[in-house]
Amino acid sequence: MGATRYALIGSGMMGQEHIRNLALIPDTVVTAVADPDPGMRDASAALAGPQARAFADPREMLAAGLADALVIATPNHTHVDFLMPALATGLPILVEKPLGTTVEDCRRVMDAAAGRAAPVWVAMEYRYMPPVARLIEEVRAGTVGRLRMLSIREHRFPFLKKVGDWNRFARNTGGTMVEKCCHFFDLMHVIVDAEPVRVFASGAQDVNHLDERYDGEVPDIVDNAYVIVDFANGVRALLDLCMFAEISRDQEEICAVGDRGKVEAGVPSSTLFVGLRDSKERRTETIPVDPTVLAAGDHHGSTYFQHLAFRRAMLEGSKPVVGLEDGLRAVAMGLAAERSITEHRPVEMAEFGLG
């Protein structure tokens, strides 16, 4: 059948990470990239190789018929605009998180994709970090007993600079709770295996970007928060986010606690700890990840493993593991956290038509 041909809409930092990871997968080739920024466009085409054509206009690229699958990695607020013509092609699509910046945009995409045969996969790659994937396996295997509490801590660096500085304003990103944290809200749902009911958050912009000005505007993005999520099965989850804590032992730490014990995962240490109450057993292991895969991106190998799963779904004609409903839910949870921070109250997911 020949190699599977990929085309990218959006060729910035994340687009280039996709290109590097696709290069590691046999029988896969990037044949086209589209981006209005000439610097990013040319850099991505060069990274993809001499077979890749570069386009300033994504619609021109789609019309050229160069792809068997599409990756959309444009700024958050443009996802819906690029998804609509992409959906019309009938090609399999992997779209970067978040699916959109509003619930309304997410539902527009879902309506447009209804009845579509080819998969639309939302890139929630944190599920695929090897130590996190092992934690999920342990919870599902009953290692901790009945899950009661889940905590996710990310202590990291501030938001990076992006072309056009689009990520400095909540109107473009959906807010930090959507832009950054939709990954973690998706993880909560996967691990807890129940629907979120309410969100209670406290957060602020206390340190980052306060001295920056863009056309006279000061950035308005939260840089630290605690978020509590109550789930329908009685489990509660906590997100602890700090974006001025780059000097940390692990950037991400996830802890699942049940009535029999607990399991913890750390990234980038790639460690897994299990502690059991009755036997007093404690074990720690390092989860190996191929150094070549680690070097291909900034997400502990997860982009590579996600692409393997997406390609399998595409070739087998199976449903996406991370579908549009997952994308909608994660966005709605993020928006609920943003609303809770702003209005200083618990927010019911029913306010967004969920729960």
Check whether 85 has a pLDDT greater than 90.
yes
Contact call for residues 254 and 233 (beta carbons, < 8 A): no
Residue in 57, 3, 54 with CA at minimum distance from that of residue 33:
54
Residue in 71, 69, 4 with CA at minimum distance from that of residue 35:
71
pLDDT of 2 reads 78
Q: Which two tokens stand for residue 255?
A: 């802890």
DSSP summary character for residue 97: S
What is the spatial distance between Cα 151 and Cα 235, in angstroms, rounded to a whole number?
Answer: 11
Specify the residue for token string 């896969």.
28
Global confidence as pTM: 0.96
Range 15-27 average pLDDT: 97
Check whether 273 has a pLDDT greater than 80.
yes
Strand order of the β-sheet with 69-72 is 53-55, 28-34, 4-9, 69-72, 93-96, 120-123
Contact call for residues 67 and 9 (beta carbons, < 8 A): no
pLDDT of 321 reads 97
Two domains, one topology: 4-125 and 126-290+323-352: no
Model pLDDT for residues 182-191, shown as the tens digit of each residue: 999 999 999 9
Model pLDDT for residues 233-271, shown as the tens digit of each residue: 999 999 999 999 999 999 999 999 999 999 999 999 999
What is the spatial distance between Cα 94 and Cα 107, in angstroms, rounded to a whole number?
Answer: 17
Non-local CB neighbours of 109 within 8 Å, separated by 6+ positions? 79, 80, 83, 84, 87, 99, 100, 120, 324
Q: Tell me the backbone φ, ψ of residue 294, rounded to 5 degrees.
A: -60, -40
Q: Which sign, positive or negative, has the C-alpha torsion 48, 49, 54, 59?
A: negative
Q: Which two tokens stand for residue 282?
A: 């404690």
Contact call for residues 131 and 270 (beta carbons, < 8 A): yes
Q: Which of 138-142, 315-319, 347-351 has the weakest average pLDDT? A: 315-319
Work out the burial of residue 228: count CB atoms within 10 Å of its CB; fewer than 13 is exposed, 13-18 middle, 19 or more buried: middle
- For residue 262, the SS3 value is strand
Model pLDDT for residues 142-176, shown as the tens digit of each residue: 999 999 999 999 999 999 999 999 999 999 999 99
Fold of domain 4-125: Rossmann fold (3.40.50)
Task: Annotate 178-215 with DSSP letters as a single string.
Answer: HHTTHHHHHHHHHHHTS-EEEEEEEEE--STTTT--BT
Q: How confident is the model at residue 317 (pLDDT cuts 50, 70, 90)?
A: very high
pLDDT of 1 reads 53
Range 120-139 average pLDDT: 97
Pick the CATH number of 126-290+323-352 from 3.10.150.10, 3.30.420.40, 3.30.360.10, 1.10.238.10: 3.30.360.10
Non-local CB neighbours of 295 within 8 Å, separated by 6+ positions? none
Residue in 337, 17, 15 with CA at minimum distance from that of residue 32:
15
Q: Which two tokens stand for residue 306?
A: 């996600």
Contact call for residues 153 and 240 (beta carbons, < 8 A): yes
Non-local CB neighbours of 131 within 8 Å, separated by 6+ positions? 265, 266, 267, 270, 271, 272, 287, 300
What is the spatial distance between Cα 233 and Cα 141, in angstroms, rounded to a whole number?
Answer: 18
Range 33-58 average pLDDT: 96
Question: What rounded mean pLDDT belongs to the chain?
Answer: 97
Residue 180's Cα: distance from chain center in Å? 8
Domain coordinates in residue numbering, the chain? 4-125, 126-290+323-352
The amino acid that residue 82 corresponds to is: F
